[in-house]
Structure 1
Amino acid sequence: MGLVLATLMITTAGIAAANTATPRVHRRAVNQHARIHQGVRSGRLTPGETARLRMGQHHVHAMAHRAKADGVVTPRERARLWHAQNRQSRHIYRLKHNARRA
Structure 2
Amino acid sequence: MKNASMIRLGLLSLFACTAFASASAMASDTTVPGHPRVNEVSKRIDNQQARTAKGIANGTITGKQAARDEKRDANIAQRESADEAKHNGHLTKAETRRLNRAENRNSRAIHRQRH
Q: Structure 2 length as normaliser, TM-score?
A: 0.64
Note the C-alpha offset of 1:19. 5.7
* TM-score, structure 1 normalization: 0.72
Instruction: Output the CA distance in 2 between the equivalents of 1:61 and 1:23.
Output: 12
What is the Cα-based RMSD across aligned positions, in Å? 1.8
Aligned to 1:94: 112
Q: Could you list the per-position Cα deviations for residues 62-100 of structure 1 after superposition, in whole angstroms to 9, with x for gaps in the alignment?
A: 111111012141111111011111111001101112xxx
Pick 1 or 2: higher relative contact order, CA cutoff 8 A, min separation 6. Answer: 1
Give the match for residue 22 of structure 1. 38
Q: Is the counterpart of residue 55 in structure 1 residue 71 in structure 2?
A: yes
2:58 maps to which of 16, 20, 42: 42
Q: Look up the match of 2:91.
A: 73
In the alignment, structure 1 segments of 5+ residues that lack a partner are: 1-16, 98-102
CA distance in 2, matches of 1:65, 1:20: 15
Greater C-alpha Rg: 1
Percent identity between matched residues is 30
State the secondary structure of the residue aligned to 1:22.
helix
- Where structure 2 has 5 or more consecutive residues not aligned to the other structure, the ranges are 1-32
Off by >4 Å, runs of 4+ in structure 1: 17-21
